[in-house]
Structures are given as C-alpha cells and as structure tokens.
Structure 1
Amino acid sequence: MLPTNQKKSKLSKTISFFELCYHSIVRNVRKGHSNAVQGLIMDVLQNLLLVVFFALFISILGMRSVAVRGNFILYVMTGVFLYLSHVKVMGAVRTAASPTDTMLKHAPVTMLLNVISASFSALYIQILSMAVLLFATHVWLEPVTFYSLKGVVLCFFLAWLFGIAMGVLFSSIGIFFPKPMTIITTAYTRMNMIFSGKMMLANSIRPALLPWFTWNPLFHIIDQARGNAFINYVPRNTNLTYVWVVLLIALVLGFMIDHWARKYASQSWNARR
C-alpha cells in the first residue's frame, strides 16, 4: 500500500498535467489569431473550401463517373478530411516535438505535452470542420447516411494516429538532418495529394498502377473508410492490418530516436547549421 500523501501527490500531478494539456491545446488552437472565434471560423472555412475545390476538380475532370454511387459530397469528404486529418496533425506534431523548441525551456512543458497539445488541437479543428459540412450537406443538399459509422470513425482516428506517428518520426530524424527532413516532409505531403487515393477508388485503379498507391498506409485508410461509408462499395485491394503495422513501427522508431537524441540535443545544433 502506498502512503496517503503519496497517492494525493500522484493524483495532483495527474490533474495538473491534464490541466496543462487543456491550456496548451487552447493555446495551439487560437495562436494564429487574436480572436479565438474568428480563428476557428477561418480554419473551418479553409477546410470547407478545400472540399469544395476537390469536388469541382473531380467534376471538371470527369472523374465523377468512377466515384461510389451515392452521396458525392460524402465521397469527397471521406478522402479530403482523412487526408487533412493526417497531414495537419503530422505537420503540427513535427514542429511541436522538436527537442530544441524554446517552449521546452519552461519546466512544466515536455515533449509529450507538446505532442498531445498539437495533435488534439489539429483533431479539434478537423472534427469541427467535418461536423459543419456534414450538417450543411444533410440539411441543404441530401440526407447523409453511413453504412457503418463506427468503421468510418475508426478510419478517421487511424489517419490521425498515423499522422502523429509520422510527425514524431520526421521530427526525431529532423534533429540530425533538419533541412533535408523539411524537404522530405513537404514532398511526402505533396505526394499524398495524389497517392492517398482521395480522388479515386482503389478498386478502379489498374493492377499495374496499384503498387504506386498501396505503399501508402493513408491510401488503405481512405479506401477502407469508403467501404464503411457506402453500402455498395467493398474494398478489395486494401486492409487496415498493414496500416497498424506501419503506424506502430513509425511510432516506436520515432520515440526511440527522440529519446536517444534528447540526451545530446542543444540549441547550438541549429546555430552550427
């Protein structure tokens, strides 16, 4: 049995940590704008405009014929919002997880706290944007229904978790190679514009071209999400087991490299570069 005062001490530390997480998440959400409400509206509008842009892009190119029969806006959203959930949190975590971040000079702030606040603030924006667009589509266009809502939610959070894992991995490697990793991260984000499969179905891709897409776990996540969103689409070329394996490997490698590098990282590293 632990002493009562020790139990209280652990409880108070846990409460203090979650309180610090809350304030850090709020700071991340509103740091880009002086007005919190205005900042949220701007972030939501940016995501909504991206959905509208891709919907128009698919229609203009005549790719709407290869979409799943059903709600077209839902088809676009299952691609765009999972893509955004991944790349937004990856970028936020990559920036926040750096051991040379000036915020880490403050005693209560840790790398774990930075990762939690960055990931949950990005998640909050994506959920809010998705809820607004789903509500608008349901009310003004046509009723929105999901074949398996649990499956879609699982894929959404899986894209978010995979973004955290890649953000931690890129950040840890970036300690040693900051400039190359910045280029690699940008290239990875741009490649996902195409190879995430958000504008096409895995079942409609020719077998010869499939290897260009199946290497990407996000491609598997988006395709499985559409299989759960639409009753008349059954994914044949993707699975979530591959995603979990890559996610866990990236997360473990990222934290291992970061833990080792944190012993030697200093502000002088960037100064020398």
Structure 2
Amino acid sequence: MFKQRQTNNLFQAAFKTLALIYHQSVYNLRTTHRNAVIGLLLTIMQSALMVILLMTLYLLVGIRGSPIRGDFMLFVMSGIFLFMTHVQTASAVSSSHSVSAGIVKHEPLNAAILISGAALAVLYRQTLSCIVILSVYHLTFEQITIEDPVGAGMLYLLAWFSGCCVGLVFLGIRPWSPQASTMITNIYQRINMIASGKMFVANAMPGFLLPWFSWNPLFHLIDQTRGYIFINYSPHRTDLLYPLWISIGALMIGLLINFTTRKYESVSWSAGQ
C-alpha cells in the first residue's frame, strides 16, 4: 500500500497508463447504471428514440422521402449518430474530474487518465449503439449499403475527437465557475440540436440560410459523412479540413486553460461555491 510505484522502462510505463485508462473507462461505464448491460441498453434506446422522434417530425412536416437519393432511415441515422457522439463526449469530458473529487487522491490517477477514460467510455457506448441499431435495421427492415464505410468511420472518430476538444475547453472553465461551465455545456448541446444540420442537406440549403450553420464544425462533419455513405451525394458546400483545424485549435486552447488552472486550483475553491 505504501510502496512507491516504479517503472523500469518506457514500455512498462505506457502499459500501466493504458491499463489505468482501461479500468477508468470500465468504471465510467458501470457508473451509468448498477447493471452494465442495462446501462448499454439505455444508451441504445436513447439513440433509437432520437431516430424515431426525428422520423416522426419528418412525417408530420410531410417529408416522406430522403433529400438524398438513398435510404431515408440511413440519412436520418447518419446525422443522429454523429450528433449524439459529439455532444455526449463534450459533456462527459467537461465533467470528467475535479481536484476536490475523492478519486483524484489515488496516486496512480491523473487528469489525463480521467479525461481519456470519460471520452473512451462514451465512444464505446455510442459505437455499440450505432452497430446494434444499424444491424437491427439491416436485418429486420431493409438492407443498407454504405459506399465508403472506412471514410465514414474516420469522420465518426473525428466527430468524437472534436467533442473531446470542445469538452476540454469547458473542463478548463469549470474550476473557475462551475455554474457557468455547466450552463455553457447545456447551451452548446441545445444549439447543436438545430445548428448541427442533421435534418438538412447542405447542397440543398438556400444561400441566406447557410451561414447560420457553416460556422459549426459538426455541420461540416455530418454533411461530409453523408458524402461517404451515399454514392449519389457529393458535398460541395462544406469543407473536410475545417472541423479538423477547429478541433486542433480547441485542443490547444483547452490544454492551455487546464495547465494554467492546475497551477492555481485548490480544494478550498469547491467549499466556497
């Protein structure tokens, strides 16, 4: 218990760090529900409910066909999956740790492990949810074809990575003002319900409406992903590099804020808030 941990080489240190990240990810998965299986089923049901609600909205408006030549449900799910992954990752990373939390007092843990564990837990849950929902739809209702699954999967990971970067910025703000950080995180999630453009097609949007969405990296990611999913769609109004550069910029800003905060953050801060 009181023995100091030592590593003989870089490989051993990397292996121990990866083991800690794995156990922290499992811990985050188990905290969502007492039963791990039920927790995963709830995540799947949440994504399925979002798909059903969006489909119902389309039917109420009178849209019964896909704006893109292809499967209508695949069009809906392509937007929902990237949206859910992005916003839930940002939320999980923004609340991944605090200096006053009891788990931080354990010697092997550090901020990087807690952040990585929170992000990977969301990636695991959302990826499993995507696979299950797509498999059930493919086997039960209608066979689907994804033109470039590797490219679509890479953009899915980029949506997760951009959520990590945005959440890192919110995490740096949280010690200074927890209420403001929570409010900004919630506002960001609500804005992306519309601003992500998951219900629209960028190529078909009028010119006066496009600037209201083009600032959002998630809008570019969803539109570019549909270009990899559907053989008949080629995005012309979105840029693949824009969300990448925005994510890298948010990552740098988040790291600067967190490193600066760590110099001044104290357990006594939480006592006065």
TM tier, shorter chain?
over 0.9
Amino acid of the residue matched to residue 135 of structure 2? F
1:239 has 2:239 as partner: yes
Equivalents in 1 of 2:237, 2:108: separation in Å?
A: 46
Equivalents in 2 of 1:164, 1:123: separation in Å?
A: 10
- Name the stretch that deviates more: 109-118 or 28-37: 28-37
1:210-249 maps to which residues of 2 (within 5 A)? 210-249=210-249
The 3-state SS of whatever aligns with 1:208 is coil
Q: Deviations over 1:6-39 (max 9, x none)?
A: 9844333222222111111111111122211122
Q: Which residue of 1 aligns with 2:120?
A: 120
The 3-state SS of whatever aligns with 1:263 is helix
**Equivalent pair of 2:89/2:123 in contact (CA under 8 Å):** yes
1:11 has 2:11 as partner: yes
1:8–1:33: structure 2 CA closer, same or farther, 3 Å change rule? same
Q: Which residue of 1 aligns with 2:22?
A: 22
- Name the stretch that deviates more: 58-67 or 136-145: 58-67
* Structure 2 stretches lacking a partner, 5+ long: 1-5
1:66–1:144: structure 2 CA closer, same or farther, 3 Å change rule? closer
The 3-state SS of whatever aligns with 2:76 is helix
- Name the stretch that deviates more: 53-62 or 88-97: 53-62
Q: Which residue of 2 aligns with 1:3?
A: none
CA RMSD after TM alignment: 1.6
Amino acid of the residue matched to residue 215 of structure 1? W
Instruction: Provide the identity percentage.
Output: 39
Deviation at 1:99, TM superposition (A): 4.0
Q: Matched residue pairs, number?
A: 268
**Equivalent pair of 2:30/2:39 in contact (CA under 8 Å):** yes
1:98-177 maps to which residues of 2 (within 5 A)? 98-177=98-177
- Name the stretch that deviates more: 64-73 or 13-22: 64-73
Q: Which residue of 1 aligns with 2:3?
A: none
Equivalents in 2 of 1:263, 1:38: separation in Å?
A: 40
- Name the stretch that deviates more: 95-104 or 76-85: 95-104
What TM-score results when the alignment is normalised by the length of structure 1? Answer: 0.93
What TM-score results when the alignment is normalised by the length of structure 2? Answer: 0.93
Q: Deviations over 1:70-112 (max 9, x none)?
A: 1111111110000001011111110004444332111111110
Q: Which residue of 2 aligns with 1:55?
A: 55
Q: Which residue of 2 aligns with 1:75?
A: 75
1:196-215 maps to which residues of 2 (within 5 A)? 196-215=196-215
Equivalents in 1 of 2:202, 2:165: separation in Å?
A: 24
Amino acid of the residue matched to residue 218 of structure 1? L
Q: Deviations over 1:25-61 (max 9, x none)?
A: 1111111222111221222122212212212222222
**Equivalent pair of 1:146/1:229 in contact (CA under 8 Å):** yes
Structure number with the higher helix fraction is 1
Equivalents in 1 of 2:99, 2:195: separation in Å?
A: 31
Q: Which residue of 2 aligns with 1:258?
A: 258
**Equivalent pair of 2:66/2:72 in contact (CA under 8 Å):** no
Q: Which residue of 1 aligns with 2:35?
A: 35
Amino acid of the residue matched to residue 17 of structure 2? F
* Structure 1 stretches lacking a partner, 5+ long: 1-5
Amino acid of the residue matched to residue 32 of structure 1? T
